[in-house]
Amino acid sequence: MANVGLLEDNTRIARLCSTMLEYTGHRVTVYQHPRECINALRLPLLAYEGRHHASRLSAPVTLPIEVLILDLQLPEITGIEVLHFLQASPLTRALPLIFCTASTPSEISRALNAAPYAAVLEKPFKLQSLGTMVNRTLSLREV
């Protein structure tokens, strides 16, 4: 299946989502803090930037995840700030996103303005809906 990143500050929700997604065959990396997620995605970016300047014939740089499930309401660094980081690089700009959030409609709208291609799954949700959303998001990327 796919490598799924999950940035969720509620450990109970993260554990439930991870278990559900692993049960359906996905490999899940749970990022417990926005900095952890940003750092994990920054390492391939640094390699990309170095290769981009050194040679166009370099092997492609890949991200550790194929889709990111992003809670918009996070402590210290908000999901919107993480989104701005992703938008700043050509390597992460196209990373498929699922906003899994209890944010207000205006916050969700703001996030969708920054990433109109993202899917939205509002909390509370059924765990089966998450698996369906991940599969749908990944299938859209392949088209």
What was the pLDDT predicted at 89?
Answer: 84
Residue with tokens 């207000």: 104
* pLDDT band with cut points at 50, 70 and 90 for residue 106: very high
- 29 in Cβ contact with 3 (< 8 Å): yes
Q: What is the mean pLDDT of residues 7-20?
A: 95
Which two three-digit tokens encode residue 77? 């660094």
Least confident of 59-63, 80-84, 91-95, 116-120: 59-63
pLDDT digits (tens, 9 = 90+) for 23-67: 999 999 999 999 999 989 886 655 555 555 545 545 567 889 999
pLDDT, tens digit (0-9, with 9 covering 90-100), for 117-142: 999 999 999 988 999 999 999 998 76
Q: Residue 57 has what pLDDT?
A: 46
Which DSSP helix (H) or strand (E) runs through 95?
none
Burial of 128 (0-12, 13-18, 19+ CB in 10 A): exposed
